[in-house]
Structure 1
Amino acid sequence: MTMMSRRIALGLPLMALAAPTLVRPAFGQAAWPSRPIRLVVPYAPGGTTDVMARLVAEQIGQRLGQPVIVENRPGAGATIGAGMVAQAEPDGLTLLMSNSGSHGVSPSLYPNLSYDPMRDFTHVALVVTSPSVLVVTKGHPAQDMAQFIAHVRRAGEIDFAVSGVGSSSHLTGVRLGLALGVRVLAVPYRGAGPAMTDTIAGVVPAMMDSLPSAAQHINSGSVRALAVSSATRSNRFPNLPTLKESGVDVVNSAWFGISGPAGLPAPIVARLAAVIRESLAQPAMITRFEDLTGAPPPESTPESYTAFVRSEIAGFAPIVRAAGINPQ
């Protein structure tokens, strides 16, 4: 063997180790991912699910060497998009931005749900948790939470827009109304984007939205923020009180993660989970998440996210029953 051939032979293992972005295929099979990945967002563009999905998709795509294309499939409280992914081939090329609506609330809300949130999915990683924020139109008479409480109690009802039936923001609003002893009139939309558009226009007087999707509108002055639903104040809006410190015993946060169809091969799950962890650990991503949500991305594994989803299903069930929400 010549010196040059020895160098080439010795360099081959190093070259293989330097290309970790592909799952090694069995003989005769294509490497994963062999083509672009579709990430289904079960809400309309403009909401937190969509914003977070696009941030993560860009980072994942860079590390996997294939573009991750976000596809919005809104409707029926996020169950249309989720159901579509549940029926997809478990090849790692169709993923879902699973969330508290599609996998936490819907199992209790829809008696004839087309999918089982545990049996029909492979849960890979929790990506973000986010509190809801109560905002009102610029012309609303309430300047703060105390005035808002007095206003809705005089009216005997609370009228607000939500991103969809059974969304975390919807349940936060329902819990707010129940805590204040007033009738709840929630107006569901096919995503936070169109709901916020109507709130800004004054079609509805208020909105319960997730903080990341509402942040830009709060900063621009298009709407007035009154309180957040987290246990503590947001680092992003430190002057904004929580519902609890405003005298309303309501604490609730939405969550979003990456899931695939049931039967996703273990090597793909492991690679995807690692890539998500790498992506969320980037300083720029941590800063971006803190800017949007007031908190850094959570640490998660396939096992912990699976256990988390299961616990959320059990936790939301009594809330849905108490609220008496009609998905129709």
Structure 2
Amino acid sequence: MSVALGRRALLATSVVAPIAGRRAFAQAWPSQSIRLVVPFAPGGTTDLVARLVAAGLQERLGATVIVDNRPGAGATLGSEFVARSAPDGYTMVMSNIASHAISPAVYGRRVRYNPVTDFTHVALVVSNPTVWVANPNSGIRTLADAVAKARSPSGLDVATSGAGSSNHMMVVRMSQLIGKELNHIPFRGAGPAMQAVVAGQVAMMSDSLPSAAAHINQGSVVAVGMASAERHPSFPNVPTFREQGFDIASDSWFGLSFPAGVPAEIVDRLSRETRAYLADPAVRARFAELGGTPGDLTPEGYTEFVSREVAVWAPLVQASGASAD
């Protein structure tokens, strides 16, 4: 063999070997437990959805899926942790409207990740409307009651899962419509916020429907208004914001995202398994009970979806003047 031919053969081997190694690694996935980071405290919609999905994927993938709650800074702390993790397919985040569309605009330069390019977006899991609920002893039964309370000398406190959440933006939007600022009370997740409302420490809450559904059904809170285009089939007695004279509609969404650079074979596998799980009639029925609509997007489709949400929310947040300061 000539020297030149030998060099070409060596070069070909040096290129093919890493590619073959990556393929073998991806084909063996998952060979260890997978961490699913929830960037909110336990008890909220993000946490609830994550635990349902983790249980389903654990069965389908044959590997343990560990839910890891890392709340803080409008869901950006946990998301940044994932963005900076190794792209090996063993760390992912429950990406959502707060962490990937709203909070980057609310927190500005303090957010050290790009919500589109620093992640490999895999699947849209579920979307659902926002619902406003009140403590039964607050005297608030309608949005008109809430507005009257807001205009009283004491004002109206409204809890949310945190600054930068879609529920925070609902509070901002409602304040704009009534010409009176509501007292936004941010918590480190929907779970702690709901506990405060149930205990009567805060009169009202703007929440995602899945985390509020059980409390509404139990009567521990009163559903005051649904921010959906029309009444929700699972809660037909709850009037929409528009029915009550307030032109607001807002959906939250939740999905699965890896750090950027995860091998395509792993991304495709997780996408297939997630979409198959969400297509199961029993799973769809469970999400329907919670007020959620399962997604069905490819990785390319979910990436485009996140990009559109960023483009929609960034200017709205800037126009509202909302910030984490």
TM-score under structure 2 normalisation?
Answer: 0.90
Distance 1:155 1:241 in 2: 27
Say if 1:147 and 1:81 are closer, same or farther in 2 by CA, change over 3 A.
same
Please say if 1:72 is aligned against 2:69: yes
AA aligned opposite 1:138: P
Q: Is 2:121–2:302's contact at 8 Å kept on the other side of the alignment?
A: yes
Distance 2:38 2:315 in 1: 27
Q: Which has the higher helix share?
A: 2
**Any idea what SS the aligned residue of 1:74 has?**
coil
Please say if 1:128 is aligned against 2:126: yes
Distance 2:59 2:147 in 1: 47
**Identical aligned pairs, as a percentage?**
50
State the shift of 1:152 in Å: 2.3
AA aligned opposite 1:104: A
**Any idea what SS the aligned residue of 2:151 has?**
helix
Counterpart among 76, 81, 93 of residue 78 in structure 2: 81
Q: Which residue of 2 aligns with 1:262?
A: 260
Please say if 1:138 is aligned against 2:125: no
Q: Is 1:90–1:262's contact at 8 Å kept on the other side of the alignment?
A: yes
Please give the per-residue CA displacement for 1:218-256, whole angstroms capped at 9, x wherever unaligned. Answer: 111111110011111111101101111110011111110
RMSD: 1.6
Q: Which residue of 2 aligns with 1:214?
A: 212
Distance 1:296 1:211 in 2: 11
Residues 32-71 of structure 1 correspond to what in structure 2 (within 5 A)?
A: 32-71=29-68
**Any idea what SS the aligned residue of 1:165 has?**
coil
Residues 115-264 of structure 1 correspond to what in structure 2 (within 5 A)?
A: 115-155=113-153, 157-264=155-262
AA aligned opposite 1:119: T
Q: Which residue of 2 aligns with 1:7?
A: none
Distance 1:99 1:296 in 2: 14
Please say if 1:296 is aligned against 2:321: no
Distance 1:82 1:164 in 2: 15
Q: Is 2:36–2:92's contact at 8 Å kept on the other side of the alignment?
A: yes
**Any idea what SS the aligned residue of 1:85 has?**
helix
Say if 1:80 and 1:28 are closer, same or farther in 2 by CA, change over 3 A.
closer
State the shift of 1:28 in Å: 7.7
Distance 1:50 1:312 in 2: 21
Distance 1:280 1:30 in 2: 23
Distance 2:198 2:65 in 1: 32
Q: Which residue of 2 aligns with 1:323?
A: 320
State the shift of 1:27 in Å: 5.1
**Any idea what SS the aligned residue of 1:97 has?**
strand
State the shift of 1:62 in Å: 0.7
Please give the per-residue CA displacement for 1:51-109, whole angstroms capped at 9, x wherever unaligned. Answer: 00010111111111101110000000000000000001111100100000000102211
Q: Is 2:228–2:240's contact at 8 Å kept on the other side of the alignment?
A: yes
Please give the per-residue CA displacement for 1:155-180, whole angstroms capped at 9, x wherever unaligned. Answer: 58442000011101111121112111
Distance 1:155 1:304 in 2: 48
Q: Which residue of 2 aligns with 1:18?
A: none
AA aligned opposite 2:159: A
Q: Is 1:77–1:101's contact at 8 Å kept on the other side of the alignment?
A: yes
State the shift of 1:272 in Å: 0.5
Distance 1:106 1:149 in 2: 27
Please say if 1:309 is aligned against 2:301: no
Distance 1:84 1:193 in 2: 22
Structure 2: runs of 5 or more not aligned: 1-20
**Any idea what SS the aligned residue of 1:66 has?**
coil
Distance 1:217 1:273 in 2: 32
State the shift of 1:35 in Å: 0.2
Structure 1: runs of 5 or more not aligned: 1-23
Distance 2:26 2:120 in 1: 22
Q: Is 1:76–1:165's contact at 8 Å kept on the other side of the alignment?
A: yes
Distance 1:258 1:78 in 2: 14
**Any idea what SS the aligned residue of 1:203 has?**
coil
**Any idea what SS the aligned residue of 1:226 has?**
strand
Q: Is 1:158–1:182's contact at 8 Å kept on the other side of the alignment?
A: no
Say if 1:220 and 1:303 are closer, same or farther in 2 by CA, change over 3 A.
same
AA aligned opposite 2:198: I
The number of residue pairs the alignment matches comes to 304
**Any idea what SS the aligned residue of 1:249 has?**
coil
